[in-house]
Structure 1
Amino acid sequence: MSIRWPRVLTPTHLSQIIRSQKNPLTALRIFNEAKEKYPSYRHNGPVYATMIDILGNSGRMSEMKDVIDQMREDSCECKDSVFVRVIKTFASAGMVNDAVKMFKSIPKFNCVHWTESFNTLLEIMVKDSNLESAHRLFVKHSCGWGVKSRVQSLNLLMDALCQCKQSDLALNIFQEMDFQGCYPNRDSYRILMKGLCQDGRLNEAIHLLYSMFWRISHKGSGGDIVIYRTLLYALCDNGKVEEAVEILGKILRKGLKAPKRCCHQLDLSQCSNGEDIEATKRLINEALIRGGIPSMASYSAMAVDLYDEGRIDEAEKVLDNMRHKGFWPSLSIYEAKVAALSREGRVSEAVKVIEEDMKEGNCVPTIRLYNTVLKGLCDAGSSVLAVGYLKKMAKQVGCVANKETYGILVDGLCRDGKFLEASRVLEEMLIKSYWPCAKTYSILISGLCSMGRQYEAVMWLEEMVSQGMLPDLSIWNSLVVSACCKMSNTDVRYELFTRLSVHSSS
């Protein structure tokens, strides 16, 4: 396919040209031809990033590596975000070793800082439970000048250790932070407090709370209440209700800087009997909310934390109290609520959040929020209903369906056996220049064959091949079986076996 080259080529123009190509190999050919046609032209970082993304999204790892090598040889300035995407691409393809090699080679590129790449790779290793490799990576690279901050990486390591029930080691890391030249942030305290409480190390957790009073909470931030709640809940669960009430008083005075009049108004006597632990916890929640100076931060932190833990009813009470005080829920609260309802299979209530609650609160849903609802609908077998939200999203300013949106809908429709509807959504997806993976094509083609829709299946096969993807054996088997079941369709059969011959010869 020939293109119309401009009189003067800029990297921005070339990015637009290659992004509009359906076949990633065609885009790569145009990318390489640019230097030949324009001797004075030179690729910059953004156009390299565009080409790398195109090849990575289409699974062309070999070609992507070649472009990365070319970027290194050109020594053009590139951003850390390019390597973040490459590392994630390698990891999602099961090529973790290549992701590690990519990170280690970053100093050879014209990239000033690579903190985010470092944290991305560390997080991947932690999720794969490869703690030894993560530790070696941290020790070797965390002190380099390319890594600007180590707090996030140390938090990742602490979180991994806490999940492995090794909060004692996480505590050692926490205590070494000062010697590492960095200081614990609120996430550091949150992660460690949760780990210590889960392991029953309540004495260490209490000491952690006291250190937090003078380091983090000296201004009485409302966002700290989730950390306080973790300790207080753990004390209650371990039968130490009286100690929890005593510490709650210190939290109100020293942590939340509650005015004396608020402390006097709180009746904590009902907490002391310890007969109903859940009721005591609810009273603690109320005390933390009412005891401090009401703020958006405190309400938001408490509500999001409760939704994340699946304590939906308690979170709803926080929202009621919040509205009563004149605060309206933030976007983060709605996102946490929708996610919690979707996990519980309460999809109709999640839909109501977007349809009614957010409208009442003058809050505009984001694409991330819509995707959560759509996934919930598809998981509940309501993929056709989910498709209807595409039109609603199109009418909403600033909310554009992305690749994840279409992927959720196509996969959901295919799971529900709605292959013709999936074809229509996939057509819209391609119009928006979002390219699905080979697996999506395979599922759709096989599904259409099972319905006896060989013509549509062959059309999608053509589209798949035009994008440089090689159909696997299951697709050809589905097409052969479908064609054999409908032998009267001579045209389809002839076209199918022609393509089979071409495929086998290649």
Structure 2
Amino acid sequence: MTIRALKSILFPTQKPKPSSLSTFSTSSPCNDQTPISTVVSVLTHQRSKSRWSNLRSLCPNGFNPKEFSQVVIHLKNNPHLVLRFFNWTKQKSLCQHDLLSYSTIIHILARGRLKGQAVILIQEAIRVSGSDDELESKPLKVFESLVKTYKQCGSAPFVFDLLIKACLESKKIDSSIKIVRMLLSRSIRPNYSTCNSFIRNVSQSHGAPEGYMIYREIFGLDCESREDNVRRIPSVRPKIETLNTLMVAFYQDGMVDKVKEIWDQIAELNCNPNSYSYSILMAAYCDEEKMDEAEALWEEMRAKNMDPDIMAYNTIFSGFCRIGEIEKAEKFFREMTMSGIESTSTTHEHILRGYCKTGNVDSALLVYKDMRGKDFRPDASTMVALIRGLCDKSRVLEALDIVRSAERHFGLHPTRKSFESLITGLCSEGNMEEALRLQAEMVSKGFKPSSEIYTAFISGYRKQGNLEMADKLKNEMLQTQVSV
């Protein structure tokens, strides 16, 4: 949408008033002494070293917000100078900035594409726009002020995208929803990247269904249900990135059927899925262990001459490793290596867990050593799988060595499940002293003994013929009613 169109929508009947910022008198006084034109001249024509000292002497009492706004609108084509002037007035306490002065400089920074600085000032404006008991209404006050000053500042629609971004970064999701809906009522739609970020944040905060409803509003997919007195938005086709955002939101909420529904809409909307789109749907199939469907998607992607990226490979690895088909995972790994794609920590973790699932702990150890060589930090679930795999093979001391090395090298402390596997293995081997030391360490880490720990010690003592200790622990377990 053009700036001219936006102005006509925001101000359809508004006429400039003599007191508006669009009309200046160059003799307008600063502190009833210095004309605005003189201040502008000092800022634009004097060197930076003398500029600020001269301004301070000309305007010792500083500026009120209206005077500040009048000055910077004359400098709107030099946003860097405007920002320096703003910072100077703040540092020297020469202006008690309010929504008017904040809105003016925000517009100027936005039209100058100084996005980061504009977002920071929007967040400052939100903080100063009211009392703390008006938290939800603060962003709306900033929105209203930006609308009022939009035309006079010669701004660009992008300023409202920055306002939405500032709200999202500040976790003011409900306020951002209201602002977007007010923009939509004026036929103003945020740009695609803002829409995607907005939908993602709404989905994470309020759930994927809410994000989907907002998506339909933004792209006018429910226009036919709107009342005639509300301006309708022309249908604009969403891009694949937006649909990917929706699929990820539903996937993260565990709503696999909705992921498939959005996938079907991709074709209906004449969008072309990309590698990321395929990866999301493949991940949904992999989680359901529907590897035939996942592999069919892979072949469809390759038939379209799409080169899978590391995310796609990691997704397919995870699926085959989850069901124990490590040979197929290895096949895809070789293909990935031949394609020149570098493996990641996630790649190694999937394969390591796959080897452990099939009982091939020697191969799992090789993968773990490779991870250490590449300084890839395994996550807790990967360490649990490796420790359990070694203990199941009666290689408890080897597993304990790996736990100690992981603590030294990665700062990884054993989890409850790792403690349980190690203690169970030690008791099974009759190494009760080491098991007791490890159990004491477990308690020191804040883990209370579970029924599995008690059962391991009871079984261990019985194997040693120490029935008295075994019965004592059994009674203790029943009395404390430990959790499983």
TM-score, normalised relative to structure 2: 0.46
Kindly name which structure, 1 or 2, has the bigger radius of gyration based on alpha carbons.
2
Identify the structure with bigger relative contact order (alpha carbons < 8 Å, sequence gap 6+): 1
TM-score (norm 1): 0.44
